Structure 1
Amino acid sequence: MTYDHSYVEDFAPAAGVLPPRAWLDDDSARVSLTGDWSFRLSPSVADAPDDLKDPDTSGWDTISVPGHWQLQGYGAPAYTNVVYPFPLEPPFVPTDNPTGDYVRTVTVPADFAGSRIVLRFEGVDSRFALHVNGELVGWSSGSRLPSEFDLTNLVTPGQEARVAVRVHQWSTGSYVEDQDMWWLSGIFREVNLLALKPTAPTDVFVHAAYDGGAGTLKVDSDVAGTVVVPELGLEFATGEQTAVAQVEPWSAESPKLYDGVVRTDGGEVRIRIGFRTVAIVDGVFTVNGNRVLFNGVNRHEVHPDRGRALTEQDMLDDVLIMKRAGINAVRTSHYPPHPHFLDLCDLHGLYVVDECDLETHGFGYEPQAPDLPNPVMDERFKPDLELRMRRMVERDKNHPSIVLWSLGNECGMGDNLKAMYAVAKELDPSRPVHYERDTHAEFVDIYSQMYTSPEDVAKIGEDPTSYRGLPFILCEYGHAMGNGPGGLLDYRELFEKYPRCQGGFIWEFIDHGLRKSEDGQEFYAYGGDFGESIHDGNFVCDGLLFPDRTPSPGMLEYVKVIEPLRIVADGNGVVIGNRYEVLDTSHLSFRYVVEVQGEQVGGGELSVPPIAPGESASVELPVQEFAGQAEAWVTVIAELTDGTAWAEAGHRVAWGQVRLDEPAGRSTTAGVGTAGTAPTDGVAGVHGITVGGVTNARLDVWRAPTDNDAIPGVAEAWREAGVHRVQHRVVSATTHETGWKVVTRTAPPALQWGLLSTWVWSRLEDGLHLDLTVKPEGQFPATLPRLGVTFELPKVDGVEWFGAGPNEAYVDTRSAAAVGKYSATVAQLQTPYVRPQENGHRIDTRWAVLTGAEGTLRIEAAPDLFGLTVRDWTSADLENAKHTIDVKPATTYVTLDLAQAGIGSNSCGPALADKYKLHTAAASLSVKFS
């Protein structure tokens, strides 16, 4: 008999599965099927043998569950952002449909007798059929949702059972799982064999509300029993609502949970209760009556080695990183996460937008043809989509951290979405519902947009009646691809100005680079690195964290922008503003540090009275004795007084820096001493100007395009203007009383515009002074990537500098940069973006000392501050590299920027704001070399 694979292309979501229910912490017996399974991969459904009734697995391989087969040596990952990697002709999928068979035996414990025996899969991609002891039990899809099968009549307690699972890479379900991520297949979440006693609860719904100090609690259970909450002295029947006179509410800032238990004759369910009420009041989203400002991130489940098969430690790592960063919310883009992650959000305090396992981006937002509607407007998909919503809400309904349900992502509009909204409201009317593509706010409770410009955010904030007056969030903004995102401070100011504009979620939390090695060198791979014919390149690497969960400069910038205190100058002191939702500042300790020219000269504890949420206090600083000194700065730091579950005592929560003196017209020479002798010769050559130890100095107007530059219209326009291939001509070279004057023209071939530069080099007792003036001429481009001086040095090992740091910063990513004295190796100055690009710029440098085997070179602002970049390769090397291993250290190249364009997030966001563009205009720089 030929095996029937028709279910692979069935519009139905499943067959033979049990109704969805809550994910419970109960005392039912269970056997974990985590570990090694026998495995066989067939290249297509047609090639999959008809032997699952009793397969001989003696010649099969072994694979780990949970896991993806592509990451265990079978097939290859593939990445697309929008397009499907197969033809659009639902319900059909390619004949070449890799099919993996998993087989293992499990001994059913004898004490399972008398129980309903259930096999539960937490996640399988994309569709699978289950066979037990040779019998087909059923099949299911919905990759990031659980599926349960009743095996009671198929297995015998005390005996072995043979479990066979046939998993298909592609199915009709794949049409609604077009999320922006790697296509990866297999049993990637846990599998458990459960014994459910007939008199034990198997589904529980906790309803815990809060209002003005009091709470109400009701617990529904499919088996009647008793609810006990020892800390509150409560004991009452399931199904009854109980008033609680005094209760501490749950919020992201103060995630109080009460332990309780539901008891029946047959068993217990442990519950964690968070009293909180979500409401929309006068167009403002509130939790427990307090306005919420979402300082959030979009989080995919990903690990560079395991893909979406995360461990509990991986999930804890993510939550702790978020909490320590001041992130208070997470959108589970674009599917429900592992339920343990939600437990951690409950425990540590994160607001969650729980998103259904649905995206159909590759169809576009409107029907492409009358016979090819988007699945959300295709009646044939309605049962699947309704069930996906039901499965998510039922599974996750008991998590206080979940404050919004989300229907899915980027599916256009259709009646199936309205049906999903109705399902959510039927099951749980207590939570609002989100969906971004409901552009007219017809059937959502929150109005949402993606990548809206600050100007348009302001328009929404100024018009409280637009979009039915609903609260407004940016479900995605600040696209963190490569070097970026920039301009985050502009958004924060709007979120704080307009009550209706309630923050948003950075896209996204972590790069999805997969670890790969070539010729013994390890790097992170992205789209196209596994031979995909259709892919979206490094668009999969757009996170605030690098694939190994190291924070990027973009993450450090976000941490500073969203910190819960605002510390700004106020006469002889500072104003400290508390932007917490519910916490005052009594859990924080304050101290200050005074530095002059980067050297600490004072500091101590700072007495700050408790500041209530939303309030501010002026605090005088005991630093008047330093006020007259040049480059005197005081940094005020707020730290945790005591350790928490997510950070140790002393963890920095916020900081602010205030300059005590007026900016001087000229920085002083205090700092590291100089070495070497004054130059005695100067040469204007073909490649640049060589003076003393400064070799081949030339005007530089190009940077290795960032991901935000690389979109059409930005770097493309610069290339059309020839900025990337300018040539240099010496117009004249003369001497003057103390040095040389060189005039150069920097211009692209085939075009008539150029930059006329006058370089005046003057000998000093201890070095050399450069006065550089630049004037554009002809039909020059409106903007430039950068304007600076690049020169070469023998290999430099270390750099010390006084200026902004310690991390890279640009004109629109400088919030996290503090003025101070720093040091680093040249390697440490580089940021290892998965796709190499412009990086490492230190803005507002006062002086820098570069040290190598051949001596030191000091560069000092005289008086102009400059941007400093030091690296062991050229911009062209960076531009031509695909991965970090492609750039090889050689000569040291130093760039002193007069200015450089901002970063923005234009790779998937608004254009760079005009105020951050580098407009082509006359400019000058004065620096001293010694």
Structure 2
Amino acid sequence: MSYVEDPGPGHGSLPPRAAFTSDAPSLSLDGTWRFRLSPSVAAAPPDVFEDGFDDSAWDELPVPSMWQLHGHGEPAYTNVHYPFPVDPPHVPSDNPTGDHRLRFDLPGGWPAGSAVLRFDGIDSCGRIWLNGTELGVTKGSRLPSEFEVGPLLRPRGNVLVVRVHQWSAGSYLEDQDMWWLSGIFRSVTLLARPSGGIGDYWVRADYDHTTGLGTIRVETGPDVVLDVPALGVTAHPAGEPLELPVEPWSAESPRLYDGTLSTVAERVPVRIGFRTVTIEDGQLKVNGRRLLLRGVNRHEHDPRSGRVVSRALALEDVLLMKRHNVNAVRTSHYPPAPEFLELCDAYGLWVVDECDLETHGFGPLGWDRNPSGEPMWAEAYLDRMRRTVERDKNRPSVILWSLGNESHTGENLARMAEWTRRRDPTRPVHYEGDHDCSYVDVHSRMYATHAEVDAIGRREDDNERRRELPFVLCEYAHAMGNGPGSLLEYRELFERYPNYQGGFVWEWIDHGLAADGHFAYGGDFGEPIHDGNFVIDGLVFPDRTPSPGLLEYAKIIEPVRISADPDGVRVANHYDFLSTEHLTFSWVLEDEGIPVAQGVLDVPVVHSGQSVSVPLPSLPTTSGESWLTVSASLTAATSWAPAGHVVGWGQLPVSPPRVRPVRPARGPVFHTAGRLVLGPGEFDPATGVLTALGGLEVRGPRLDVWRATTDNDRGSSPGPAEASQWREAGLHRMQHRVIEVDADGDELVVRTRVAPPAQAFGLFADYTWTAFDDGLRLRVEVTPDDYPGTLPRLGVTMAVPAELGTAEWFGGGPGEAYADSCQAARIGRFSSSVDGLQTPYVYPQENGNRAAVRWARFTTPDGAGVHITGEPEFAFTARRWDTAALEAARHTDDLVPGPLVHLTLDTAQHGLGTASCGPGVLPRYRLVAQKTAFTLEFRRVAVAN
């Protein structure tokens, strides 16, 4: 069996150790290498490793990189299925093989003796030569491998050759939900290893919350001393325990002590965080306090370089997470680049560090021959876990080890857990696939429904072991496209039951790849099998722009919650550790969205888990609907946000809308020149549809129940997807039959039946128009005619000229909101261009809905247009394309602006749910067809003076 198909972990590498830097000489080998891609192993040059091999005609390729993103082959995306025949450990003979060659010189003064060549990531299998000598073979793509090269080095003309195979036996263990990409994608470094230096170390820094004392002990070699200046520690023998008062580390207050480990030959900088992780009383605790994980799953992704993620981009992730109240990361489904964990230490994030393991493609085959239970894979499983733990053991941010993801269960996983617990008893072990919890320390589930989560909290489980453990949703709320919905209900469950530790939204980022004018997803590269846009499932877009889903999540998990209280304003502290001492509470009073007063609210310090009520500030009288918005913001800048950054806010209604006077009807309806005229409106006499308002050409409004389906509408939750039911019912192609146009008297009444072809059911829609002053009032009454199911939306659609490209409204905003995803919307006055109202989901779908709108105005640059008022509220979208075009689009650049602005004015929409991978819409947010009436007023707006 060739090394490519050997199920073992490779050979020739040194034992795994911690990731660290030192003052010993090092040389980065990142940069431009020579590269040649062969279609198979057999077609690759056999003598590529020889010094005299001529690579002058080869291409150049940056290292780190994924070769498919540099014109060599194509990316491919599958979620579950392997893109090759499942015949473990064999892989196709047509196995793209990339040869990488680098010539390099040693810096002047490079010391003789031991040196280590370190590869931080090679996908999927690498065979390595230096100066004609084979060093070995490495597998475990997202894990480091080191090779001893000291005796092989020469001052000048070193030739490093790395042969990388796209497929290997290791590919069976790396079926994570992501792009299949290949190459040397993390850094390559040459490290001098001085005699008497520090080969490895493990800082054990525990914290006793009852005494405030920290205990530090370092597992390392002989003659190593520890210095920690801030603690007054100087030249302390590293292996001897030391107890002293310290400030603990937490994700909320990430106190790190800078120090050094040193011998006469080498100095290693260390950053020490004191904290203790325990499971007590069925709860996961750090430093004696129960944690509530408000987390995300994070893949490493850059839209241009794939899994080559720079430190700057990793920092951007961390800062975005902190600024949106995320406090935890599960490193799905492999250890990230070590720099990311260093950033988690420094800025403060709890981390579930996951091994590079997933065999999901065996699931559709009934888990037959799944490596988790096959002895020939045992060493590969253990090797991957050893390399994970040893590399990251010094990271205080890591509080749980995870064995991997979606690999079913088996003896190999149990052995991984046993080894991990023996090697590091200070951190619990996680793995969702151990459903009986026989070898893990945490009960973990993914995509459990709200009802299931509630039942687990009530301990309605016949498995005693599960009942005793902390519960975590390692994946929930699938953030694909528009959504997820019902995050609030999950949070309420997490807070209801003491053994709940929260969870991790799937996932952080859309894995779109930059293409010409849009982001690409599965199938865009001609893959024979693929999973389409299922890779577009993040809380941030590929360019790391926060999606509405992230804004919603940030609001729901805000650490300080502000709400109305009989005594005024209630402030509740949901931090795990911090008080509110670092926050300033400010308020602003708005009268119909216009600020009229503001100030600072005097709130006493509120400790973690506590709440307080404070009286309202003295407020002036307002003439219209007014709201008090109270915000908690950072008093001083932190490492992750400037002073004034808002961490939580709440709104309190102060005064109701003013009572609008009853305006007498202004009739009658006139028949003139083939038109019906009522006040400022002109109507088609045959259909009763409005065609002009005060001289402004319009189309509609008329009843509409269809929306461009979302990923969640089309989702894969148990049972038929909502979208398929709606399409089967024909809701996307409703036809209108005019029953009567009654144009006598002061009202124009249009009676219609709206129904799909080939069906007997439908909806009766009656439109009653009346005129007043300079406007029109429309009352719409909808009565189901034997319609059996839910509706995507219920409202009217109309169109106005494209020149009306500016929107202003008073209501929910500034961003989009839906029935089960509206916590981030506040009541105010907002404005935007019509283009700015669009949410650019990578896969176009329903978006941009503004909810709880009292009035909206759509105008030209000079202020002319149409003003729409709800009685009392409505929701709207405004687009330069109609719903059919939005439904048909597959990428954002498919959407071409037309000559009209299309408005939808809704009384209700079906919720979003998370059925793209998870539960559907909760009953309370389902739009069930029933008799409904709603009223809108339309006025022509003149040119502004």
For the aligned pair, the TM-score class normalised by the smaller chain equals over 0.9
Residue 660 (structure 2) pairs with residue 659 (structure 1): no
Q: Residue 621 of structure 1 corresponds to which residue in structure 2?
A: 616
- After alignment, is 628-637 or 342-351 more displaced? 628-637
Residue of structure 2 aligned with 1:167, choices 152, 164, 168: 164
Matched, 1:16 2:15: no
Which residue pairs with 2:906 in the alignment? 897
Map of 2:854 onto structure 1: 846
For residue 665 of structure 1, report the CA deviation from its aligned partner.
Answer: 7.2
Partner of 2:625: 631
Letter paired with 1:25: T
- Report the CA distance shift for 1:898/1:348 in structure 2 as closer, same or farther (over 3 A): same
Mark the CA change 1:724 to 1:133 in structure 2 (over 3 Å): closer, same or farther: same
**Cα distance per residue 1:738-761 (max 9 Å; x no partner):** 231101110001111111011001
Moved more, 39-48 or 615-624: 615-624
Aligned counterparts of 1:710 and 1:20: Cα–Cα separation in 2:
45
Trace 1:442-481 onto structure 2 (pairs within 5 A). Answer: 442-463=438-459, 467-481=466-480
Q: Could you tell me how far 1:227 is from its partner in structure 2?
A: 1.1
- One-letter amino acid of the counterpart of residue 699, structure 1: L
Letter in 2 for 1:655: W
Residue 734 in 1 paired to residue 742 in 2? Answer: yes
For residues 391-410 of structure 1, the aligned pairs below 5 Å read: 391-410=387-406
Deviation at 1:461, TM superposition (A): 1.2
Deviation for aligned residue 1:684: 5.2
Question: Which residue among 564, 572, 576 is the counterpart of 1:569?
Answer: 564
Matched, 1:201 2:198: yes
- Deviation at residue 468 of structure 1 after TM alignment: 4.2
The amino acid of 2:797's aligned partner reads T
How far, CA to CA, are the matches of 2:326 and 2:685 in structure 1? Answer: 53
**Contact 1:406–1:433 (CA under 8 A) maintained in structure 2:** yes
Match of 2:801 among 788, 794, 798: 794
Pairwise CA RMSD: 1.8
2:715 aligned with 1:707: no
Matches within 5 A, 1:529-548: 529-548=524-543
Could you tell me how far 1:637 is from its partner in structure 2? 0.6
1:19-59 CA deviation, whole Å, 9 max, x = no partner? 10000121121110010001111011111011223221110
Please, which moves more after superposition, 748-757 or 737-746?
Answer: 737-746
Give the aligned residue type for 1:826.
V
Shift of 1:623: 4.0
1:46 aligns with 2:47: no
Residue 878 of structure 1, CA deviation: 0.8
Show CA shifts across 1:388-414 (max 9, x none). 000000000000000000000001011
User: How has the CA–CA distance of structure 1 residues 764 and 233 changed in structure 2, closer, same or farther, with 3 Å as cutoff?
Assistant: same
Question: Deviation of residue 365 (structure 1)?
Answer: 7.7
Partners of 2:437 and 2:465 within 8 A in 1: no
Shift of 1:678: 4.5
Q: Deviations over 1:405-462 (max 9, x none)?
A: 0000001011100011012112211000100111111111111000111121111112
Q: Please give the per-residue CA displacement for 1:544-569, whole angstroms capped at 9, x wherever unaligned.
A: 00000000000100010000011010
SS at match of 2:150: coil
Which range moves more in the overlay, 181-190 or 680-689? 680-689
> Post-superposition shift, 1:115?
2.8
Q: Which moved more, 1:657-666 or 1:257-266?
A: 657-666
The partner residue of 2:183 within 176, 183, 186 is 186
Distance in 2, Cα, partners of 1:868 & 1:303:
34
Separation in structure 2 between the aligned mates of residue 435 and residue 729 of structure 1, nearest angstrom = 58
Q: Structure 1 CA distance, aligned partners of 2:688 and 2:353?
A: 57
CA gap of 1:126–1:666, structure 2 versus 1, over 3 A, is farther
Q: Matched residues in 2 for 1:443 and 1:362: separation? A: 23
| 2:942 aligned residue | none
Asked if 2 retains the 8 angstrom alpha-carbon contact of 1:461 and 1:498, the reply is yes
**Cα pair distance change 1:138/1:466, threshold 3 Å:** closer
Deviations 1:449-496 (A, max 9, x none): 001111211111122866141000100111100000110011111111
- d(CA) in 1 for partners of 2:768, 2:626: 32
Q: Distance in 1 between matches of 2:681 and 2:382?
A: 80
Gap runs ≥5 in structure 2: 664-676, 940-945
Change (3 A) 1:914 1:834: same
TM-superposed CA distance for 1:736, in Å, is 3.8
Distance in 2, Cα, partners of 1:138 & 1:223: 30
1:282-361 correspondence to structure 2 within 5 Å: 282-361=281-360
State the one-letter code of the partner of 2:83.
P
Q: How do 1:510-909 residues align onto structure 2 when only pairs under 5 Å count?
A: 510-517=509-516, 522-571=517-566, 573-626=568-621, 629-662=623-656, 678-683=679-684, 688-692=689-693, 693-711=697-715, 712-778=720-786, 780-795=787-802, 796-852=804-860, 856-890=864-898, 891-909=900-918
Q: Which amino acid aligns with 1:191?
A: V
Percent identity over paired residues = 51
What letter corresponds to residue 581 of structure 2 in structure 1?
S
Provide the C-alpha distance between the structure 1 equivalents of 2:360 and 2:452, rounded to a whole number of angstroms. Answer: 24
Instruction: After TM superposition, give the deviation of residue 60 of structure 1 in Å.
Output: 0.6
Q: Using the alignment, how far apart are the partners of 1:858 and 1:580 within structure 2?
A: 46
The range that moved more, 483-492 or 223-232, is 223-232
Partner of 1:673: none
Distance 1:917 1:426 in 2: 50
Opposite residue 650 of structure 2, the aligned amino acid is G
Q: Counterparts in 2 of 1:67-86, with a 5 A limit? A: 67-86=65-84
Following the alignment from structure 2 to structure 1, what is the Cα–Cα distance between the partners of residues 808 and 661? Answer: 16
CA contact (8 A) 1:684 1:730 kept: no
Q: Secondary structure at the match of 2:805?
A: strand
Verify the 8 A CA contact 1:666 1:862 in the aligned structure 2: no
CA distance in 2, matches of 1:190, 1:228: 30
Q: 1:107 to 1:843 in 2, by over 3 A?
A: same
- Report the counterpart of residue 672 of structure 1 in structure 2: none
Change (3 A) 1:650 1:553: same
Deviations 1:43-88 (A, max 9, x none): 1111101122322111011000011101111111100000000000
Partner of 2:674: none
CA distance in 2, matches of 1:665, 1:50: 86
Contact preservation (8 Å) 1:709, 1:907: yes
Deviation at 1:367, TM superposition (A): 4.5
Task: Measure how far apart 1:887 and its partner are.
Answer: 0.8
Amino acid in structure 1 at the alignment position of 2:702:
R
Structure 1, residues 622-681: CA drift from partner, whole Å, max 9, x if none? 24443x754110000111000011111111111000101246776999xxxxxx994243
In the aligned structure 1, how far is the partner of 2:680 from the partner of 2:713? 39
Report SS of the residue matched to 2:451: helix
SS at match of 1:100: strand
Rounded to whole Å, the distance in 2 between the matches of 1:666 and 1:512 is 50
Kindly provide the amino acid, as one letter, of the partner of residue 696 in structure 1.
Answer: G
- 8 Å contact 1:687–1:698 — kept in the other structure? no
SS at match of 1:846: strand
- SS for the counterpart of 1:865 is strand
Helix, strand or coil for the counterpart of 1:364?
Answer: helix
Asked if the contact 1:486/1:903 (under 8 Å) is kept, the reply is yes
Q: Any idea what the Cα deviations from partners look like across 1:263-303, whole Å, max 9, x if unmatched? A: 11211111110000000110011000011100000000001
User: Which residue among 141, 153, 156 is the counterpart of 1:155?
Assistant: 153
- Rounded Cα–Cα distance in structure 1 between residues aligned with 2:808 and 2:19: 54
Unaligned runs of 5+ in 1: 670-675
Q: Would the alpha carbon gap of residues 757 and 468 (structure 1) be closer, same or farther in structure 2, given more than 3 Å must change?
A: closer
Q: CA deviation at 1:313?
A: 0.3
Change (3 A) 1:437 1:667: farther
Instruction: Say which SS state the counterpart of residue 496 (structure 1) adopts.
Output: helix
* Deviation digits for residues 674-693 of structure 1 (CA, Å, limit 9, x no counterpart): xx994243225569543534
Question: Do 1:794 and 1:852's aligned partners in 2 also have CA atoms closer than 8 Å?
Answer: no
- TM-score, normalised with respect to structure 1: 0.96
1:188-209 deviation digits (Å, cap 9, x = unpaired): 0000011101200010000000
